[in-house]
Amino acid sequence: MRMNTRKRHTAVDAYGAIKDMILGGQFKPGNKLSDQDLAGELGVSRTPVRHALGRLAQEGLLEESKGKGYYAADLDAKQVADLYALREVLEAHAVRLAADRATPAHIEELRSVLATLEKLGEDSSKRGEEIRVGLRIHEIIARASGDSFLHETMVRLLNRMHFFIWMDTLNEDPQAADVTRREHRALLELIRFGKADEAEAAIRSHIRTAKEGILKVLAARDAFYRSQEANVG
């Protein structure tokens, strides 16, 4: 039993360490991640590294090429803008339906998530966990829409966008994080009181701000890589 516990702990450590590397920009877009090299760097066997790579690919932080392995996501600004445009359309529809159909149970679930976010927001070292928990708000709203197909589509889209959301949020300043928390609180109240028009306007503004943030991060990152290549050349 002890052996199994240690194995699980190692797998979790590998996942967390590789995720930090990805979000920290240690892999250039399109670069292949070698499980052997990562295992050596982390001081673990290749098995937990392979599990970690598979999990990160499912979360959208890596791209998997069948038979060829895992690669750092090659983020194209147009593709990112297109994904955010699609997310805006879907979430605008979801929030309008939720304003009309959300049950007391949905509202209570949203309140519980917001309470957790308030606690996490008091500790800057828990920002990563706050991001993960915060994404549940959008999932709950999609579920509260009462449209199972919309909910399923939103969940898939949010999974695909995890990388962008993490990149944007990890590069935000503390004031931007506070704004996000206020927006989430306001959104709950608009849904609770059935204010569909205001809720739609709020979610559209929230998503457009997020899109602008990630596009700025991508532009800065691309400029950094270009300068590195120029120095090498």
Residue 231 within a domain = no
Predicted local confidence at residue 9, as pLDDT = 46
Which residue, of 72, 101, 123, is where some domain finishes?
72
CATH code (residue 168): 1.20.120.530
pTM here is 0.74
Same domain, 114 and 138: yes
Q: Which residues pair with 70 in a beta bridge?
A: 33, 64
- Distance from the first to the final alpha carbon of the chain: 54
For residues 68 and 84, state if they share a domain: no
163 and 53 in a common domain: no
Do 129 and 35 lie in one domain? The reply is: no
Residues 187 and 130 in one domain: yes
CA distances to 54, 68, 84, 93, 161 from 57, in Å? 5, 13, 20, 28, 12
List, for residues 161-210, the tens digit of each pLDDT value: 877 776 666 666 677 778 888 999 999 999 999 999 999 999 999 999 88
Q: Which residue range is the domain that position 27 belongs to?
A: 2-72
Could you tell me if 27 and 98 lie in one domain?
Answer: no
Residue type (1 letter), 108: E
Instruction: Identify the pLDDT of residue 233.
Output: 60
- In this structure, of 31-40, 74-83, 111-120, 150-159, the range with the lowest mean pLDDT score is 74-83
So what's the pLDDT on residue 200? 98
Q: Between 97 and 56, whose confidence is greater?
A: 97
pLDDT at res. 6 = 41
Q: Provide CB contacts within 8 A for 167, sequence distance 6+.
A: 23, 214, 217, 218
Cα 97 from Cα 142, distance rounded (Å): 9
Amino acid 185: pLDDT? 94
46-58 helix and 2-23 helix, angle to the nearest 10 degrees: 50
Residue 113 or 213, more confident: 113
Cα angle value 170/17/127 (rounded, 5°): 30
Q: Are residues 19 and 134 in the same domain?
A: no
User: What DSSP designation does 69 have?
Assistant: E
Question: Residue 205 has which token pair?
Answer: 């503004």
pLDDT band of residue 227 (cuts 50, 70, 90) is: confident
Q: Does residue 50 have a pLDDT over 80? A: yes
Instruction: Note whether 57 and 84 are same-domain residues.
Output: no
Is 195 found in the same domain as 153?
yes
DSSP, collapsed to helix, strand or coil, labels residue 67 as coil
Q: What residues does 62 pair with on adjacent strands?
A: 72
pLDDT in tens, 127-138: 777 877 888 999
Same domain for 162 and 217?
Answer: yes
Average pLDDT over the chain, rounded to an integer: 85
Residue 32 lies in a domain: yes
